[in-house]
Structure 1
Amino acid sequence: MNIEGNTVTVNKAANEVFDFFTKLENYQQLMPENTEKFEVDGESFIFGLKGMPEIRLVLKDKTEFTNVTLGAASSKLPFTLASDIKEIAADQCEVSLKFAGDFNPMMAMMVKKPLTKFIDTLTENIAKL
């Protein structure tokens, strides 16, 4: 299952946005208002939204100034969340989020709508940076 968020323009240099995404504590600023838990632990963070199970994300990969990829810490529900950064000017870049998960059809049907809403919220909050 793949979900692509909208591409948003951020009035910051690509390297600033890349640095923001590589510091896991910064993701708390992007979380929805209904976040009940957010804790950073080394190269991972755990968050919980009201009425949802807690999820631990691990920093999986990063390509300087263009991509930061987080992945699920658990192999039970394997997925990644990639932040693609594209410089469009010295002090402006475009950011898009891409979610890729390997779920069975029933699970995909259950999580698609809330995940899409979550990705949209993250994207909206990135635009406010």
Structure 2
Amino acid sequence: MNLESKKVTLNKSAEDAFNFLNNVKNFETLMPENISKFEILDEDKFLFALKGMPEIVLKKKETVPHSKIILGAAGGKLDFSLIANITEIDSNTSEVQLNFQGEFNAMMAMMIKGPISKFIDTLAGNMTVAV
């Protein structure tokens, strides 16, 4: 399953956007209002839970300076990645799009597609205020 958020334009350079997203502590400011738990586990890993959903641990897996950050599931039963693609528009403007990739059976994919789409759109939308 591959889901993409809407693209958001930030009044920040690609470097500034990258530096913000590269610090996992900043993801707390991007979370939706229905977050019930957020905890930093180490400098590259955090745990979060939304009301009515299981806890999810994300770990920074790969970074490409100023253009991409890949977070992946750390443990648990589901294997997926959350990828932030950052594009420089000019020296003071960048565009960010989140991409969710995971392998799920058809039933699971059907159940999580809506909530995951809404979640990544919320993260992306909150970037316009937080970054």
Is TM > 0.5 for Structure 1 vs Structure 2? yes
Distance 1:96 1:127 in 2: 12
User: Equivalents in 2 of 1:103, 1:76: separation in Å?
Assistant: 11
Q: How far 1:120 sits from its partner (Å)?
A: 1.1
Q: Distance in 1 between matches of 2:114 and 2:45?
A: 25
DSSP 3-state at the match of 1:12: coil
SS in 1 for 2:104: coil
CA distance in 2, matches of 1:91, 1:41: 32
Alpha-carbon distance in structure 2 between the residues aligned to 1:41 and 1:55 = 12
Alignment pair present for 1:63 and 2:64: yes
Q: Which residue of 2 aligns with 1:39?
A: 39
- Equivalent position of 1:89 in the other structure: 90
1:103 aligns with 2:123: no
Number of the residue aligned with 2:18: 18
Distance 2:95 2:125 in 1: 13
Letter paired with 2:53 = M
Q: Partners of 1:120 and 1:68 in 2: how far apart?
A: 17
- Quick one: distance in 1 between partners of 2:96 and 2:120? 12
Unpaired runs of 5+ in structure 1? Answer: none
| TM-score after normalising by structure 2 | 0.96
Shift of 1:127: 2.0
> For residue 91 of structure 2, what is the amino acid of its counterpart?
A
Question: 1 CA distance for matches of 2:56 and 2:103?
Answer: 16
Task: Give the 4+ runs in structure 1 shifted more than 2 A.
Answer: none
SS of 2:32 mapped into structure 1: coil
Aligned alpha-carbon RMSD (Å): 0.9
**Deviation readout 1:14-61 (Å, 9 max, x if unpaired):** 111101111000000000011111011112100011111110000000
How far off its partner does 1:75 sit? Answer: 5.6
- Measured in 2, the distance between the counterparts of 1:101 and 1:75 equals 13
Aligned residues: 129
Partner of 1:27: 27
My pick for the range that moved more, 119-128 or 22-31, is 119-128
Task: Tell me what 1:7 maps to.
Answer: 7
Identity %: 48
C-alpha distance in structure 2 between counterparts of 1:76 and 1:34, whole Å = 23
Matches of 2:74 and 2:115, distance apart in 1: 20
